[in-house]
Chains A and B, each alone.
Chain A
Amino acid sequence: MATTVHEPPKIDSPRLPATSHSGNGGWRNMVPADGDPRVVQHYSPPASSTAIWVVLFAITMMFAAFTSALIVRKGASLDWRHFTLPSILYFNTVLLLASSLTLEVSRRRVATFMGGLRSQSESPTRWLYITLCLGLLFVAGQYIAWRQLSAQGLFLATNPSSSFFYVLTAAHVLHILGGLGGIVYVIRRLNQSVLRRSTLDATARYWHFMDVLWVYLLLLLWIKL
């Protein structure tokens, strides 16, 4: 039987590893004080690897602001009404954690795939699609949680506790949707064989951060609501 060997996608990777070489002005590898450019090599870390930390820092500050608002608002008055979190949130948590795992598998497969060590049948996009599905299921699960709460008569304006529940979960879901957009972008770039390794790494870092953020939010809501 004839077999077709597909060419692995071309993936743009840095010419030198990021950790051990003098930089092209990049902050990780500063030019020596004497500034002799002859000793400077041609490598600059991809800007996306710095940018993703900028994004994550901004998101951290945003949720820190929401958290401090929750703590202050709870302490400001006696009208805080405690309620039990919808149990589907725990299921959603498992989904999101699983999506991080599948994304990590996919990320590693891309590296292997890049080296041409596996055939097309084990394309890493499959794991990316699984991650995408798990992410969408998480969003659907959050929607179900909102429906369950509203069925109990807890709406956005019912009580400050429910207000914060909706605001925090909605803000998180919006960021998750951004992450899903990132994964779709990665899949598209991979299919076009123009994916940069740094893009995948940045997307993965963002997605894992969404995971950590959700676990934090769940704990916060569980303790405070």
Chain B
Amino acid sequence: MHDMSAHAVQHHQPTTFIRKHVFSLDHKVIGKQYYALALLAALIGMVLSWMMRIHLGWTNAAIPGLQLLSKNGAPGGVMTPEYYLQLMTMHGTIMVFFVLTTAPFAAFGNYFLPIQVGAEDMPFPHFNMMSFWVTFVGFWVLIAAFFVGDGPSLGGWTQYAPLSAVGPVAGPGEGMGVILWATSIALFCVGQLLGALNFIPTTLDLRAKGMSMMRLPLSAWGWFITSCMGLTAFAVLMPACILLILDHVAGTSFFVPSNLVINDQLQPHSGGSTLLWQHLFWFFGHPEVYIAIVPGMGIVSHVLIANMRKPMLSHRVLIYSMGALAVLSYMVYGHHMFVSGMNPFSSLAFSFPTLAITIPSTIIVLIWTFSLYGSKLRINSASLFALGFISMFVAGGVSGFFLAQPSIDIMLHATYFVVGHFHMVMGVAAMFGIFSGTYFWFPKMTGRMMNETLGTIHFVISFIGTYCIFMPFHYLGMAGNVRRYSAFVADYLQPLIPVHRFITVAALITGAGQLIFLYNLIHTRFWGAPATDNPWEGTSLEWSTPTTPPPHNNFGDHLPVVYHDPYQYGVKSSTGDYVMQASQEQVATVNEEK
């Protein structure tokens, strides 16, 4: 340990309720605020998916109360095709931005990155606080679209031009709904850029004495790599949103071509490029997939190692592979545009790196699998969800091989095959990463243990349920079931309706299973069994804090000094089969990786 005075104290412990819990500068409070926001967003997103699924299974069924949300969109509780698309847009946007980016990266990263590197806080706490509140405002700007004009946009989370850029003539929500959407996402971008501004210097400059880069836990590496990706991706999406807003409010023609007639009305715009939006969007959009999944990879690795009681086969290769994913993610975005009319040679150029990105992904999966082989894995909710993450990532990733090839993608594009693919590989896998991290770190964040029985039930329902929901999607896609249809009236789609009904039932049950998690989370927060400082016998610095939850400055009077690699399990030490990073104990380190 060395004296705290070597590092400037960032800020003093707040005393008022507002500074302590609302406008807090403490990275731990900000992390919990992000988590709460993501939880609320996930609930809203899930309820939206329920409503969509009920409509897809039983098209004329009235959903009680839906008419209160939109009189015109759901007269008598039966949603119109347009309102179906509006709910779909909100589901996608809320889930991708405010859940899959917010929870694994912003929430857990904020809470644990400074602790895992051995710092007392982020370097710029005010920017960190702004990061959350800008994101918070962005979320409510998005939600406000439900209650303004004719509801939210119906353009999908990708908001393809020109329909997203021409205004109300393109349908309900395409006026103010799109403006609110683009404003919300631009605010979200600002929030995430402010986040990256803190995450990167925290990792590079605030590491404790002895904490070299290779001594960082894999979760910290996940957040660091993700913050680098976010820095590049969100800085491009923001200008795209600005140009989209200008097309709406200022009459510019960035994305709307000449002589465009919509609903028998000639649009006043001229000469814009519809593909320009797709290029700008997907330059962000594909890395966004990795922004959602890489923190999960880090979290899952971290959780598995603590439960396997041995490090991964190669710490370095895992890190390099995550880095390779980050770099390659910028070279593959065109695979979303194979059928956009892009030059076929461009398709080839995007297809090769898309296939190449499977190499680091496969390396990561193989390292997980072979590290698990022969280990005596401790089975608990966290490790179960970590295993589930791997399962979802592999099952969803395999379909990516097919979609990566332009000739096959032409047939599968815009079908349920794609929907199944990305929900498994990015959506559910990332959600499993969030769950795994929650069960693992909840004791440190709150000082209470989550209920393991409820956690196991939650896992079983989620694991079986998501396979029941998303595997049939692949079948539907191959049978030609196009996505974004609110009802399946064509003859060739009629035989598929029973499959949709099965999926709807599975979705309702799986969703109900998430309420078990919610109950577990809230109940144990207040009445759970007290947690010890290191309930999982972990080695990284978050388990070395003097109290649980950690004190305001994380490590009390002294910052830690790091003496060991992050995952010294399977050794003989005075504490058992592990030695903590901050322990001065000399042990025969069987796991040194040069």
Contact = CB atoms under 8 A, between A and B. Distances in A.
Question: Which of B2, B254, B270, B594 is the most central at the interface, judged by chain A CB atoms within 10 Å of its CB?
Answer: B254
B515 interface: no
A68 interface: yes
Interface in A130-183: 156-157, 160, 163, 167, 171
A73 B272 contact: yes
A127 to B, nearest CB: 27
Contact of B239 (A44, A65, A73): A65
A59 B270 CA distance: 29
Given A48-B123, A65-B235, A156 B280 contact: no
Question: Which of B213, B232, B236, B280 is the most central at the interface, judged by chain A CB atoms within 10 Å of its CB?
Answer: B236
B200 A51 contact: yes
B264 interface: no
Given A25-B209, A47-B206, A65-B235, 19 more contacts: A25-B210, A25-B211, A27-B205, A37-B562, A37-B563, A44-B205, A47-B205, A54-B200, A57-B232, A62-B235, A62-B239, A65-B239, A69-B254, A76-B272, A76-B276, A77-B270, A157-B253, A160-B271, A163-B250
A61 B236 CA distance: 6
Interface string A28-55: 0011010101001010111111110011
A11 to B, nearest CB: 14
19 contacts: A27-B205, A35-B215, A37-B563, A44-B206, A45-B205, A47-B206, A57-B235, A62-B235, A65-B236, A65-B240, A66-B239, A73-B273, A76-B257, A76-B271, A77-B272, A156-B251, A157-B252, A163-B246, A171-B242
Nearest to B240: A65
B528 to A, nearest CB: 35
Interface string B176-214: 000000000000000001001100111011111111110
Interface residues of A, number: 45
B186 to A, nearest CB: 11
B246 A167 contact: yes
A27 B224 CA distance: 13
Interface residues of B, number: 57
Interface in B405-455: none
B377 interface: no
A47 B201 contact: yes
B146 interface: no
A197 to B, nearest CB: 13
Contact of A73 (B200, B213, B240, B254): B254
B555 to A, nearest CB: 14
Given A50-B204, A50-B205, A79 B123 contact: no
Nearest to B230: A58
A127 B209 CA distance: 39
B60 to A, nearest CB: 44
A37 B270 CA distance: 65
Contacts of A117: none
A60 B6 CA distance: 34
A102 B4 CA distance: 38
B561 interface: yes
A31 B215 CA distance: 10
A142 B234 CA distance: 27
Question: Which of A40, A42, A54 is the most central at the interface, judged by chain B CB atoms within 10 Å of its CB?
Answer: A54
A2 interface: no
B337 interface: no
A157 B283 CA distance: 26
B271 A24 contact: no
Contacts of A33: 212, 594
Interface in B212-255: 212-213, 215, 231-232, 234-236, 238-240, 242-243, 246, 250-254
A29 B173 CA distance: 54
Interface of A: 24-27, 30-31, 33, 35, 37, 40, 42, 44-51, 54-55, 57-62, 64-66, 68-69, 72-73, 76-80, 156-157, 160, 163, 167, 171
B124 interface: yes
B279 interface: yes
B346 interface: no
B7 interface: yes
Nearest to A162: B252
B340 interface: no
B118 interface: yes
Nearest to B211: A25
B201 A30 contact: no
Interface of B: 2, 6-7, 117-118, 123-124, 193, 196-197, 200-202, 204-213, 215, 231-232, 234-236, 238-240, 242-243, 246, 250-254, 257-258, 270-273, 275-276, 279-280, 283, 561-565, 594
Contacts of A73: 254, 271-273, 276
A64 to B, nearest CB: 8
B212 A31 contact: yes
B284 to A, nearest CB: 9
Contact of A79 (B2, B196, B201, B270): B270
Given A25-B209, A44-B7, A62-B238, A77 B257 contact: yes
A66 B250 CA distance: 17
A163 B563 CA distance: 57
A144 B243 CA distance: 24
The 3 closest A-B pairs by CB, nearest first: A77-B271, A25-B207, A47-B123
B239 A69 contact: yes
A58 B246 contact: no
Contacts of A55: 197
B250 A156 contact: yes
Contacts of A48: 123, 201
A79 B258 contact: yes
Contacts of B212: 25, 30-31, 33, 35
Contact of A51 (B6, B197, B246, B276): B197
A14 B273 CA distance: 52
Nearest to B564: A35
B213 A27 contact: yes
Contacts of A58: 193, 196-197, 231, 234-235
